[in-house]
Structure 1
Amino acid sequence: MNITKEQIDDLNAVVKVALTKDDYQDKVDTILKDYRKQANIPGFRKGQVPMGLIKKQYGKAVLVDEVNKLLQDNLNKYLTEEKLDVLGNPLPKQQESLDWDAEELAFEFELGLAPSFDVKLKTKKAITQYKIVADKKMVEEQVERIRKQYGKIVSKSEVGKNHELTGIFKNEAEEIEHKTTLELDKVKSKKALDTLLGKKVNDTVTLKTKGLFKEDYLLSAALGIDREKAEKLNIEVEFTIEEINERELAELNQELFDKIFGEGKVSSEKELKAKIKEDSEKQFEQQADQKLLNDVTEKLIEETKFELPKEFLHKWIQVSGENPLTEDEAKEEYEKSEKGLRYQLIEGKIINENNLQVQFDELKEFAKGFIKSQMAQYGHLNPEEEELENIAARVMGNQDEVKRMSEQLMSQKLLNLYKEKANLKVKEISYENFVKEVYG
């Protein structure tokens, strides 16, 4: 066997493989002998079928199969040994006719080669790293929510300021009929508030949807419709009152603190607010980190310039899927995936150049941390180490979970690298302003 490479340009090459009968004939003959032993052909005893008949019936198929296996194995070995960084898989060049009985068989494969490029983490323009702070207003609102959540519900005979109303919204034309709880402190429309004040159970009022709530997202939940529909809605709806309640706020005392955070963890209103601020900012950090990761990714794709073997990738996409694509379909698919491919190459280079690796022990600890946070959401705050070990062992036995967590851990390592080496400018911002600035 002889394998050679012809370099077409920096991004394309052709590998030529020449096989002689010595490379495959012994293997073909062995398989055909096995076929002969097992063959059941009318008119012949088992194992006594003439070899000429076996060759005539099975010879070509066995030869083709063995040659393809030989090509695949040796081509992969060649690419590894030559350290060729290829995109997609080698594509066999079409041959008009191939004489399978010839003394030598020649095959050619097109290669798409990964480009050579440099990645500069210090981008030309600084990338904003958001530090989301829980401001005084947010902390006070959270304290209020806690006091409401753990307070007493007292039934009232008529609607008063800041009461909660349970009732049904209706509009036949829009097919709306939805039971909900309406908190008056979240209602923005003064006209709606004036209409509701003083009403009693079983009273029905008509309210306008536009500008009804202080926050736009509340309308979709109240009416039981999707947010896209709610954003465009400007109609009148009927609201029939079924319950009128007032929440008496819970006292900020040790009993409440222990109930929320565990015994002795918080012992004053000042500590409560500090804890709320700390927990909120820890939660916000995940959002800020994801935003940073997305922004660095976009900036690296924008500033890291290199060419790709487009024509080769078009051909490869055409034939690599479950169903073959047309040339136009393959081009369209390439356009959709080009950005992701570019970042995959950039990320791979960053990982290699900075020797970022995911070790088994740290992956296991990462899994335990994830399990612990999941358990905390269900009130299990202090699991035993043995319990965590057992659950982590089960998780690590699932290859899909291991792959998913490995990707998450590598993303965390990349994020830490970007925080250390990228061109960043830190911006402190409230959560409310972060949402406005980032999401509009």
Structure 2
Amino acid sequence: MKIEINSKKGLKTNLSIFVDKKTIQKKLDARLAELQSEVSLKGFRPGKVPPSVIKSQFGKAVYGEVIDKILRETSTKALEEKKIKVAGQPKIDLKTFGEGKDLNYTLEVESLPKIELKPFNSYKAIDYKIKLDEKVINEKIREISKQHKHFEDKKENEKSVKGDQIAFDYTATIEGNKFEGSEGKGVVIELGKNLFLKGFDEQLIGLKKNETKNVEAILPPNHPKKELANKKTKFECKIINIKKPKETIINDDFAKHMGAKDLPDLKKLIEKQVESQYQQALDAITKKEILDQIEKLHKIDLPKNLVENELAMITRNLKKEEVEKHKKNNEKIANSRIKLGLVLNEYGENNNLKVSDDEINLEIQKQVRSMPGQEKLVMDYYKKNPSATQSLKGAIYEDKIIKLFKSKMKLDVKTLSSLEAEKVISNFNKAKDNPKIKDEQNQTDQVKSSSKIKTKSKKISKK
């Protein structure tokens, strides 16, 4: 086997590889000998078919198999010998080949760039910490209590008002005709939430128990029966019962109902949960700050094929006119992603960072626990989609690298109150929405708006 470098320009290298016909024949003879124990032909005992007969029957297929194996082995050896780290799939061009001939082919590869990593002390960022005061925690508990209302029966002569829970039977008609689903029994709604039909609730205000009221409403445009969509409908409603909201007393019993041991324990659980939500948003800001510096501090050549593949991924669901309209921006995003990926991977390899199967399974289990009732769906998704597992592995790897940075770089620790955290997150997201810099930041997901940080209304988890 002979290896020569034909040309080298930038990251692209063209190799010429030569394998003599004697070497090929030896491998071909060895494969034919192996097949003696595998092939069964009429007229021959098992394992006794002569290699010459096998060759006459399967010669072309065996030769193709042997050449494929030689190409794999020799191309791998050539890349190792020339110490080329390949970016993407190499291109093979067969020059001469055939039974009884030498094998001569070229191998065109793009290599990964050499990256001179900046030392960790070149970086600096703010490491935000969150500290909630008791007022915020108490407000979150009040929000939860409002989501878990209790109702008690109203007196016979009391009328329904907004916020009451009302139960009723109904018969509905469209242009005087009944339709499928036109009758309902024991329907319960909370007046003012408008969860039944638009404008329906307000027509049931001011009624007493056992009264009947004719209500008009428009069926929704997405009604399961297309012929009923947007139809004006008359409902004859018989009020069965009316309940008013009962004030929820926030005490140990309420805390136990929410899954805590007592009220102090509930406060601790809520504090932990809300702090975690704020911290996640603030950590994303710190991460973005670090990534921006990594990209700015490193100047490297990018493998063209990797950028092209990334660009294809970005635009795969876009229409042709959208691709053209956003061409420059998408190219910029593709370049940024590849650059960051290469530099981050270099830091990871230099610091011997790896992701184990156990770490991947642990992350999948976290997702399973966060989606009760859909455990099988989550597990099946990862079993059937290896690319999703690979993507998860990449996310874990990136998190490890960011943690490495934070452990070695200069961090200015800043503790924030909830109001200060709201302001930091809001300003960050406003900056991302600024058209002048939005394109530069498209490669990073927007930090979750702090105004949407809410405690789950279900029982508080202790996990």
Identify the TM-score tier after normalising by the shorter chain: 0.5 to 0.7
Give the direction of change, closer, same or farther, for the CA distance of 1:407–1:182 in structure 2 (3 Å limit): farther
Give the direction of change, closer, same or farther, for the CA distance of 1:123–1:180 in structure 2 (3 Å limit): farther
| Residue type of the alignment partner of 2:300 | F
Contact 2:28–2:66 (8 Å) recurs in 1: yes
1:220 alignment counterpart = none
Match 2:105 to one of 95, 104, 107: 107
Give the direction of change, closer, same or farther, for the CA distance of 1:144–1:301 in structure 2 (3 Å limit): same
Give the direction of change, closer, same or farther, for the CA distance of 1:316–1:130 in structure 2 (3 Å limit): closer
Contact 2:344–2:398 (8 Å) recurs in 1: no
2:377 alignment counterpart = none
| Residue type of the alignment partner of 1:111 | V
Q: 1:3: Cα distance to partner?
A: 2.3
- Which sits farther off after the overlay, 274-283 or 130-139? 130-139
Match 2:150 to one of 143, 146, 152: 152
Give the direction of change, closer, same or farther, for the CA distance of 1:48–1:86 in structure 2 (3 Å limit): closer
SS in 1 for 2:90: strand
1:9 aligns with 2:9: yes
Measured on the aligned residues, the alpha-carbon RMSD in Å equals 5.7
2:434 alignment counterpart = none
2:350 alignment counterpart = 353
1:279 aligns with 2:260: no
Give the direction of change, closer, same or farther, for the CA distance of 1:347–1:165 in structure 2 (3 Å limit): farther
Q: 1:73: Cα distance to partner?
A: 1.6
2:20 alignment counterpart = 20
Give per-residue Cα distances to partners, 1:7-36, cap 9 Å, x unaligned: 512301112211112212122124345667
Give the direction of change, closer, same or farther, for the CA distance of 1:402–1:100 in structure 2 (3 Å limit): closer
1:254 alignment counterpart = 252
| Residue type of the alignment partner of 1:357 | K
SS in 1 for 2:77: helix
Aligned equivalents of 2:133 and 2:35: distance in 1?
A: 80
- Which sits farther off after the overlay, 104-113 or 250-259? 250-259
Q: 1:294: Cα distance to partner?
A: 5.4
Aligned equivalents of 2:310 and 2:101: distance in 1?
A: 31
Aligned equivalents of 1:281 and 1:294: distance in 2?
A: 20
Give per-residue Cα distances to partners, 1:282-330, cap 9 Å, x unaligned: 2332344345445644664466442223269769999xxxxxxxxxx9x
Q: 1:207: Cα distance to partner?
A: 9.5
Aligned equivalents of 1:16 and 1:8: distance in 2?
A: 12
- Which sits farther off after the overlay, 102-111 or 24-33? 24-33
Q: 1:281: Cα distance to partner?
A: 1.0
Aligned equivalents of 1:273 and 1:398: distance in 2?
A: 41
Give the direction of change, closer, same or farther, for the CA distance of 1:54–1:282 in structure 2 (3 Å limit): closer
Give per-residue Cα distances to partners, 1:248-302, cap 9 Å, x unaligned: 1332333333343443x545xxx65454233211233234434544564466446
1:415 alignment counterpart = 402
Aligned equivalents of 2:202 and 2:34: distance in 1?
A: 93
Aligned equivalents of 2:125 and 2:241: distance in 1?
A: 51
1:29 alignment counterpart = 29
1:66 aligns with 2:66: yes
Give the direction of change, closer, same or farther, for the CA distance of 1:103–1:195 in structure 2 (3 Å limit): closer
Aligned equivalents of 2:153 and 2:86: distance in 1?
A: 71
Give the direction of change, closer, same or farther, for the CA distance of 1:246–1:399 in structure 2 (3 Å limit): same
Q: 1:66: Cα distance to partner?
A: 1.0
2:75 alignment counterpart = 75
Contact 1:10–1:115 (8 Å) recurs in 2: no
Contact 2:149–2:245 (8 Å) recurs in 1: yes
With normalisation by structure 1, the TM-score equals 0.61
Q: 1:243: Cα distance to partner?
A: 6.5
Contact 1:111–1:312 (8 Å) recurs in 2: no
Aligned equivalents of 1:279 and 1:33: distance in 2?
A: 67
Match 1:198 to one of 206, 211, 219: 206
Match 1:308 to one of 299, 302, 313: 302
| Residue type of the alignment partner of 2:273 | D
Give per-residue Cα distances to partners, 1:28-84, cap 9 Å, x unaligned: 12434566784748xx76799887675455434322321220120232234245432
Contact 1:148–1:248 (8 Å) recurs in 2: no
Give the direction of change, closer, same or farther, for the CA distance of 1:272–1:66 in structure 2 (3 Å limit): closer
- Which sits farther off after the overlay, 246-255 or 426-435? 426-435
Aligned equivalents of 1:164 and 1:61: distance in 2?
A: 77
SS in 2 for 1:5: strand
Aligned equivalents of 1:317 and 1:31: distance in 2?
A: 43
- Which sits farther off after the overlay, 153-162 or 119-128? 119-128
Give per-residue Cα distances to partners, 1:76-97, cap 9 Å, x unaligned: 23424543211112210254xx
Give per-residue Cα distances to partners, 1:178-221, cap 9 Å, x unaligned: 9885464999xxx999877534576467899xxxxxxxxxxxxx
User: Alignment length, in residue pairs?
Assistant: 372
Q: 1:348: Cα distance to partner?
A: 0.6
Aligned equivalents of 1:377 and 1:99: distance in 2?
A: 57
Give the direction of change, closer, same or farther, for the CA distance of 1:29–1:153 in structure 2 (3 Å limit): same
1:163 aligns with 2:157: no
- Which sits farther off after the overlay, 137-146 or 13-22? 137-146
| Residue type of the alignment partner of 2:350 | E
SS in 1 for 2:258: helix
Aligned equivalents of 1:315 and 1:415: distance in 2?
A: 25
Q: 1:165: Cα distance to partner?
A: 5.6
SS in 2 for 1:74: helix
Contact 2:12–2:108 (8 Å) recurs in 1: yes
| Residue type of the alignment partner of 1:76 | T
SS in 1 for 2:301: coil
Contact 2:166–2:241 (8 Å) recurs in 1: yes
Give the direction of change, closer, same or farther, for the CA distance of 1:224–1:289 in structure 2 (3 Å limit): farther
Contact 1:17–1:107 (8 Å) recurs in 2: yes
Q: 1:127: Cα distance to partner?
A: 6.3
Structure 2: which 5+ runs fail to align?
175-181, 223-231, 313-322, 373-382, 431-446, 450-463
Contact 1:166–1:244 (8 Å) recurs in 2: yes
Aligned equivalents of 2:412 and 2:240: distance in 1?
A: 54
Give the direction of change, closer, same or farther, for the CA distance of 1:317–1:296 in structure 2 (3 Å limit): closer
Give the direction of change, closer, same or farther, for the CA distance of 1:151–1:77 in structure 2 (3 Å limit): same
SS in 2 for 1:247: strand
